[in-house]
Amino acid sequence: MAAAVADSTTSAPPTDSPKVIFRGNFPGTKTTDFNQWPNLDFEDMDSTLAVQQYIQQTIRRDVSDVEAILKSPETQDEGVWKYEHLRQFSMELNGLAVLLQGECNPKMCTQMTATEQWIFLCAAHKTPKECPAIDYTRHTLDGAACLLNSNKYFPSRISIKECFVAKLASVCRRVYRIFSHAYFHHRVLFDAFEAETHLCRRFTTYVVKYDLMAKEVLIIPMLDSVDVAQPTPISTSPPSFTPLATLPKSESEA
């Protein structure tokens, strides 16, 4: 959400006054004219939403420059930086969710799976259970939004307690499953979305950079520096849940 640097006024400013720049999209603004205001240095951003604005500004400058997007200003608190990026990922992932709705229906994708070895339980229920993939996607994004907007855990956009920063890893694991399902089961759709947004590559770089996910669960080949987990043969023994689903409750819900 963009914020105004200065309030608009109905009276014209004196001719010798500096030009007032409104950093927002007025009602009726054409899509092609969205966010067409000059870039601002991070040090000059004085809003409580400065980190979000800076991240979005860097994305608009070059969505493919993942390293630049993830590079934190020197004075920025790391916890807030990680938090704001995860908020941004969750918002942008709604675009992938909308695309998935066209072909990922409950009859075709009855479970949230990636490869045949990975079946994920949905933590949105009182007791974690299987969900159709599209429902899992919606529940996961809704849950991420509720947590990341919680006044209990994240009451400030300026500073965050370290004990609450630790909750970000759980959100990352759940969100990554949306990418995984799209990659392995809706590849054409995934490739088109990724070509436009570079979102999965950015997300993978983010979780590796900040050690938010174990490398063995990164199963999408996005980074040359990360060896993705290789699928293992399916056991012929009586069926059981796959690795994530058989973890203790604290992990299966994560």
Q: What is the CATH number of the domain that holds 94?
A: 1.20.140.30
Q: How confident is the model at residue 19 (pLDDT cuts 50, 70, 90)?
A: low
Residues annotated within a binding site for Zn(2+): 104, 109, 181, 186
What pLDDT, in 10s, does the model give residues 178-187?
Answer: 999 999 999 9
* Structural domain includes residue 206: yes
* Structural domain includes residue 73: yes
Predicted confidence at residue 118, as pLDDT, reads 78
Residues annotated within a binding site: 104, 109, 181, 186
Helix 168-185 crosses helix 78-100 at what angle (to 10 degrees)? 30
Number of domains in the chain: 1
**Residue numbers of the domain that contains 81:** 49-217
The position carrying tokens 């969505």 is: 63
* Structural domain includes residue 243: no
* Structural domain includes residue 138: yes
Of 147, 126, 123, which is closest to residue 135 (Cα–Cα)?
A: 123
* Structural domain includes residue 197: yes
**CB 65, CB 148: distance < 8 Å:** no
Residue 213 has pLDDT above 90, yes or no: yes
How far is it, in rounded angstroms, from Cα 228 to Cα 223? Answer: 9
Give the whole-number percent of the chain exceeding pLDDT 70. Answer: 74
Residue 211 has pLDDT above 90, yes or no: yes
Q: How confident is the model at residue 28 (pLDDT cuts 50, 70, 90)?
A: confident
**CB 202, CB 113: distance < 8 Å:** no
Lowest-pLDDT range, 94-103, 114-123, 125-134?
Answer: 114-123
Q: What is the CA radius of gyration of the chain?
A: 21
Q: How confident is the model at residue 238 (pLDDT cuts 50, 70, 90)?
A: very low
* Structural domain includes residue 32: no
* Structural domain includes residue 222: no
| pTM greater than 0.95 | no
How far is it, in rounded angstroms, from Cα 59 to Cα 70? Answer: 10
* Structural domain includes residue 176: yes
Q: What are the angstrom distances between the C-alpha of 2 and each of 15, 47, 64, 95? A: 27, 10, 22, 19
